A and B are shown apart, each in its own frame.
Chain A
Amino acid sequence: MTITQSTRAATTSELTIATSEGVLFRLPLAGPAPRLYAMLLDIVIVLGTVNGIGLLVYWVFAKAPGFGVMVITLAEFAIGFAYSALLEGYWNGQTIGKRLFHLRVIDQDGLPLRIEQAWVRNLMRVFDALPFAYLVGGISVLSSPLMQRFGDRVAGTLVTRQTPLSLPDEEFWTRQKYNSFTEYPTIAMQLRRAATPELAALIQDALRRRNELATYARREIYRELAAYLQSEICPFPDELIERLSDEQYLMNASSILFADRGAIASSKIGDLGQG
């Protein structure tokens, strides 16, 4: 992951921010599809609201329907722009649709969005919606590393995915605790010797991107990698392999590869390193 001068870097799916304190964190970016769904939901909400107000206005202006139409036309127009701008501005970058689809608009430096930015990005919709069905905005999203439509580029904002995350559960910690490969220090050392840096990086990358891969793809990749390691590099005994999932196999292998020498050596006297 490279860090640009502006301390922002993006792949197609995430924005990496390096803070002045030297911490690096990644924010997952939202693709066009969930944004489209959220927008459609918001449109439904706005139309519902406007129609609700419309009934009320018709009732109030029963004697003067022309003025009723005037009020509704103007209200619809104003609400159409103000709905997203106000909600995003005062509700930390979320409209109702965005909240339900776990999206949030933020400043492109990782800060909460400001009210002016919310207005600018929403007024720019008149351009992004050209010539129909948000074609300009959609092309802009697909061609931008930060997945910004023109409104986002002007306002300096971006849309992130905000799937709720909680601390990993108990199973996670027990899985991390014990590395059964350290019971076989000779084969483990063989793994360390034979693995190329590329292979080590590949394993690490596959594990790191665990949550970005579709389930079937993950299973397939892990199975192939584990099978390759087992057959070509480090033949651990079958009775151990039977107990391990492919993912656990790779995690063990990876922690052997990236552990310092002492962790494996010390395991000989029973004090197991973890990983």
Chain B
Amino acid sequence: MILNLERFRAQAQPRWKDLESLLSALESRPDRRLDSAEAEQLQQLYAQASADLNRVTHGALAPDLRQYLERLVARAYAELHYTPPTRSQLWQPRRWLRIFTAFPESFRRQSRYFAMAALVTISGCTLGALAVRYDPASVDVLLPANYLRNPGERVHEEEQGQARHSNSAQIEAEFSAQLIRHNIQVALLAAALGVTFGIGTALLLFENGVLLGAVAVRYTQQGFGLFMSAWLLPHGVFEIPSILIAGQAGFYLARLLLHRREDRNVRDSMREWLILVAGLAMMLVWAGFMEAFFSQHHAPVLPYGFKVGVGLAELVLLTLYLLLIGRTESARVTRSGLATENG
């Protein structure tokens, strides 16, 4: 049926205008809440506009009008089918604190990907360590920086450098920010490389592992094992696990993308990835501060035994946090979460 556009417009234009003004009103509200009368009105106007669009599409040649109606229907469709966050969800700082319990919960839920990340890193470590141990020639390839190749000089410099660096909190502050930024960037990349089906993540972790293993063996070989533990442990016990968690997030993402069609709740899965990333970013902030303000002080100012002790204490606390926090609460949180969503 060919439309009589003139007559059609006379009938329909008022309701298009109504729909337009209702949509503008809705879209300007941050929480986009509808009361029941508005919802009914929206539903009705949407149905009418859809019918009008169908008539224009099939019964007239009016590209401008069709485009206009398509836009209108698209906007109404979006409003009708979208569950907006409630006002309380938009601004609720207490919910943000939930990240501290949500992070270890997500970590434990996806622990098999953590195991994968750890496995890849450990195999890298083993390769690096074996290479340096049995093939001294490989040192030049594996450890490009001179200070890594010749720990003696570095240790000497660091221990002598005490005097120069004393009272240099300013420089340390700057240094910490750079560390935090760099580390978070690398970790985020590892998590994002999940889109390469996890291959990129695995390569990054493996490379990291090789370097770690090679450095550890090199320093120990030359008799600086204690220095190195004292130097690396206070921040390393947060830095290395956070890179592993980045790997975990990356593998999790890879799995998510591979099974996207079966995944019924993509939204929750994405949230899980975000929680892991947010958690590891928090860990790296702590690690950055430790590395700049604590790790760089050596004997005699700080005895190595003390530094190693601090590192181990941190490791124990981190482990307890990741394994225990939130577990007892999880049932309660789920219930109250449901309650708020219903209410």
Which residues of A approach B to under 8 Å, CB–CB?
17, 19, 21-27, 64-67, 69-74, 77, 90, 92, 106, 110-112, 114-117, 119-120, 123-124, 126-127, 150, 153-156, 165-168, 172-173, 176-177, 204, 207-211, 251, 254-255, 258-260, 263, 273-275
Contacts and interface: CB of A to CB of B under 8 A. Distances in A.
Interface residues of B, number: 62
B54 A23 contact: yes
Nearest to A16: B70
Nearest to B170: A66
B2 A211 contact: no
Contact of A110 (B60, B74, B181, B267): B74
B31 to A, nearest CB: 10
B136 interface: no
Interface in B228-259: 253, 257
B195 A150 contact: yes
Nearest to A262: B2
A72 B181 CA distance: 11
B82 A111 contact: yes
Contact of B57 (A17, A24, A114, A150): A24
Given A112-B78, A167-B16, A274-B6, A260 B67 contact: no
B180 interface: yes
B270 A117 contact: yes
A66 B173 contact: yes
A65 B172 CA distance: 11
Contact of A166 (B68, B90, B174): B68
B195 A17 contact: no
Contacts of B152: none
A57 to B, nearest CB: 12
Max chain B C-beta neighbours (<10 A), residue from A21, A70, A251:
A70
Q: Tell me the dominant secondary structure on chain B's binding face.
A: helix
Contacts of A251: 61
Given A64-B169, A69-B174, A126-B185, 5 more contacts: A71-B177, A120-B274, A126-B189, A210-B64, A275-B60
B181 A74 contact: yes
Nearest to A74: B177
The 8 A-B residue pairs with the shortest CB-CB distance in the complex, in nearest-first order: A66-B170, A73-B177, A23-B50, A127-B192, A70-B177, A70-B173, A25-B70, A66-B173
B240 to A, nearest CB: 20
Contact of B274 (A65, A119, A255): A119
A22 B77 CA distance: 12
B67 A211 contact: yes
Contacts of B90: 90
B237 to A, nearest CB: 22
B63 A207 contact: yes
A274 B5 CA distance: 8
B78 A110 contact: yes
A114 B174 CA distance: 36
A126 B70 CA distance: 35
B30 A90 contact: yes
7 contacts: A116-B271, A126-B189, A127-B193, A154-B253, A166-B68, A260-B1, A275-B61
A125 B260 CA distance: 21
Contact of B61 (A24, A123, A211, A258): A258
B210 interface: no
A77 B61 contact: no
A116 B267 contact: yes
B74 A17 contact: yes
Contacts of A77: 180-181, 184
Contacts of B257: 154
A21 B181 contact: no
Nearest to B273: A120
